[in-house]
Amino acid sequence: MMINRRTFSTALVAGVATSILTGSDKTRAQTGPKARNIVLVHGAYADGSCWSEVIGILQQAGLKATVVQHPLTTLEAGVEATRRAIALQDGPTILVGHSFAGMIVSEAGVDPKVSSLVYVAARAPDAKEDYTALAKTFAAPPASAGLVWSEGYGKLSEEAFLRDFAGGIPHEKARILYAVQGPISDRLFTGKTTQAAWRSKPSWYAVSTEDRTINPDLERFMAKRMNAKTIEVKAGHLSLISHPREITQLISQAAGQLS
């Protein structure tokens, strides 16, 4: 059933009682143009369907959602696929990335059509920064030990996927997500961004406080470094599935649809 924008706003506000909005007075002025185009990019071990819950809420609000299905082979291939999606948008666009896709957002987000960036439990490296080296300055998340490689491609073991990657998701649904897990190339994590779009674009960040795939303290560090408007969601790595209303509210704020 379609809902009007006022009802949508009220429902979102009611749904974020456990989220904490943070940020300093030095946060960049969020003065970008209103946007109705939302481009969503998935991370490793997943595909575009992980955004389904968020997409439904965005569409009910009259926003146009486009999901990038990138091949999980190299950073460059992901960026190319995202740039193609951005090129098809008809005006200001919000670029949203989950997990590994934060690197894609940081690189492709310099496109003039992109007005704001949203990171969801995502990597947010600086230009030419070695993200792996940065991550090693924080305690290793449990999921890292569950990555199994075969013939140049890696997947999380079922135990690691269900416990560490999809923690907080009902077991039946988590098993479906495991079944469609996208294998990653052994070259995917070796790429480095050449751009850090968050240095020039208004940015938002959703920290998952119970994340076992990216250390939550690393997420907080990256969010603070980019002066992002930040929320903390009591969720595992897949907050976009377990807490879609909180994530959609953040995207709507970035789009100028909510104050």
pLDDT tens by residue, 103-160:
999 999 999 999 999 999 999 999 999 999 999 999 999 999 999 999 999 999 999 9
Query: What is the pairing mode between strands 147-150 and 114-120?
Result: unpaired
For residue 247, pLDDT over 60 is answered with: yes
For residue 95, pLDDT over 60 is answered with: yes
- The pLDDT-based confidence of 259 (bands split at 50, 70, 90) is low
How far is Cα 186 from Cα 253, in angstroms, rounded to an integer? 36
For residue 34, pLDDT over 70 is answered with: yes
Mean pLDDT value of segment 20-45: 69
The answer to whether the beta carbons of residues 28 and 202 sit under 8 Å apart is yes
| List of residues 6+ apart from 52 with CB closer than 8 A | none
- The pLDDT-based confidence of 32 (bands split at 50, 70, 90) is low
| pLDDT value for 14 | 40
For residue 20, pLDDT over 50 is answered with: no
| pLDDT value for 258 | 78
Residue-by-residue DSSP string for 205-258: EEEETT-SSS-HHHHHHHHHHTT-EEEEES--TTHHHHSHHHHHHHHHHHTTS-
For residue 65, pLDDT over 50 is answered with: yes
Average pLDDT, the chain: 90
| pLDDT value for 4 | 42
